Amino acid sequence: MTAAAEPAGQTDHGITGSLTAEDMAYRARALAQAHPLTALARQYVDRAVADQRTSQPIPEIGIWAGAAAIGGYCLRRVEESEVGLDLTEPEEGLPDLDTLEEATARIAAELRVEGAGGHMLADEERNIEGLDRIIASEVSRRLDHWKDDVDQAAWDELEEYLTWWVVKGYALRTAERATGAIR
Query: How far apart, in whole angstroms, are the C-alpha atoms of residue 106 and residue 61?
Result: 23
Query: How far apart, in whole angstroms, are the C-alpha atoms of residue 147 and residue 151?
Result: 8
Predicted confidence at residue 4, as pLDDT, reads 37
DSSP class of 95? P
Residue 10, pLDDT above cutoff 90: no
DSSP per residue, 160-182: HHHHHHHHHHHHHHHHHHHTTS-
Q: What is the mean pLDDT of the chain?
A: 89
* 6: confidence class by pLDDT, cuts 50, 70, 90: very low
Average pLDDT for 83-99 = 94
Q: Are 97 and 179 in contact (CB under 8 A)?
A: no
Helix axes 124-143, 21-32, angle to 10 degrees: 50
Residue 72, pLDDT above cutoff 60: yes
138 CB burial (10 A radius; 0-12, 13-18, 19+): buried
Number of Cβ within a 10 Å radius of residue 39: 10
pLDDT per position as a tens digit, 127-170: 999 999 999 999 999 888 877 888 889 889 999 999 999 999 99
Average pLDDT for 93-106 = 97
Ordered by start, the domain boundaries in the chain are 18-178
With 0.85 as the threshold, say if the pTM is over it.
Answer: yes
Predicted confidence at residue 150, as pLDDT, reads 83
pLDDT per position as a tens digit, 22-43: 999 999 999 999 999 999 999 9
